[in-house]
Structure 1
């Protein structure tokens, strides 16, 4: 897990729900660091640096493509 790279940071779990589903469908190896802790204590997100999307290095380009497609202004599945 130490080789994984942080691609994005989120404040609350609802912000990346669609992204998680897209990554699972694409078979991208990833995890969300601090997810459980912030889920239990939501107002602590800033104190712990948010929820970090950690992606395996071999899936970085595919993960970036998915993130970019969801950040497109015309996408109805935009991430917050």
Structure 2
């Protein structure tokens, strides 16, 4: 059996959610380097993150399902500033906490704090912490 890398992740939660969704659709897949990244997150970039491996005969279907998942996620989080759907959940270096984390890591060695993540609109550049709550139209 030959497997190919479909995509990579920087954390195990996103990787497992994607893996579970694909397995529910009958895709034969597994996570490579999950234990290494989970035990020592500092090695994430060095080993290329957690790799979602998919059987070569199912790569095309899995890629389509992954694209559909991403489109659904983007539609669920429109930009509150310009209503664009070109929004992603990213790590930002603009927050003071990230610089403090980098300094702490430098001083204390292997100790690192979690980076600050925000939703970023690639159309207008607006950043926000949480998507706006949608009103229930059935009420």
**TM-score of Structure 1 vs Structure 2, range by shorter chain:** 0.7 to 0.9
Q: Which has the higher contact order (CA 8 A, sep 6+)?
A: 1
Q: Distance in 1 between matches of 2:63 and 2:54?
A: 10
Q: CA deviation at 1:16?
A: 2.4
Give the match's secondary structure for 2:45: coil
**Offset at residue 17 of structure 1 (A):** 2.9
**Deviating more after overlay: 54-63 vs 13-22:** 13-22
Question: 2-side partners of 1:75 and 1:4: how far apart?
Answer: 32
Q: TM-score, normalised by structure 2?
A: 0.50
Conserved? CA contact 2:19–2:52, under 8 Å: no
Select the structure of larger CA radius of gyration.
2
Count of equivalent residues: 77
Q: Unaligned stretches of 5+ in structure 1?
A: none
Cα root mean square deviation, aligned: 2.0
Output one character per residue of 1:24-71: Cα deviation in whole Å (capped at 9) or x when no partner. 211211111100111111121111111111110111122011100111
Does structure 2 conserve the Cα–Cα contact (< 8 Å) formed by 1:11 and 1:50?
yes
Structure 2 portions without partners, runs of 5+ = 78-87, 90-139
Instruction: Verify the 8 A CA contact 2:15 2:52 in the aligned structure 1.
Output: no
Q: Does the alignment pair 1:74 with 2:66?
A: no
The structure where helix makes up a greater share of residues is 1
Contact 1:29–1:59 at 8 Å: present in 2 too? yes
Counterpart Cα distance in 2 of 1:70 and 1:16: 13
Taking the aligned partners of 1:56 and 1:70, their CA distance within structure 2 comes to 19
Displacement of 1:75 in angstroms is 5.0
